[in-house]
Amino acid sequence: MLNQLDRLSLEVEGRYATAQELQVLKDYFPTVNPRLSAYQKLRDGETEIIAKLETRMREKQPNIF
């Protein structure tokens, strides 16, 4: 999505965006809060998530690492 926003900002440089171009923004912005929430949960829980995954993998295959 960030690539689309970057491309859009370059394409509309010096002019107003068309309705079609603005639709990209309209489609994206309602999902910003859930996306940020998911990002923050993953960021904040990374250590615990990886530790749990490693434990599960070692239970299934003790010599995996």
Q: For the chain, give every domain's residue range.
A: 2-60
7-30 pLDDT tens trace: 999 999 999 999 999 998 898 899
d(CA 59, CA 53): 10
* DSSP reduced 3-state for 61: coil
Q: What pLDDT, on a 0 to 100 scale, did the predictor assign at position 5?
A: 84
Instruction: Report the predicted TM-score, pTM, of the whole model to 2 decimal places.
Output: 0.60
Cβ-Cβ contacts under 8 Å for 49 (sequence gap 6 or more): 42
Task: Please report where in the chains the tokens 């990374």 appear, as a residue.
Answer: 46
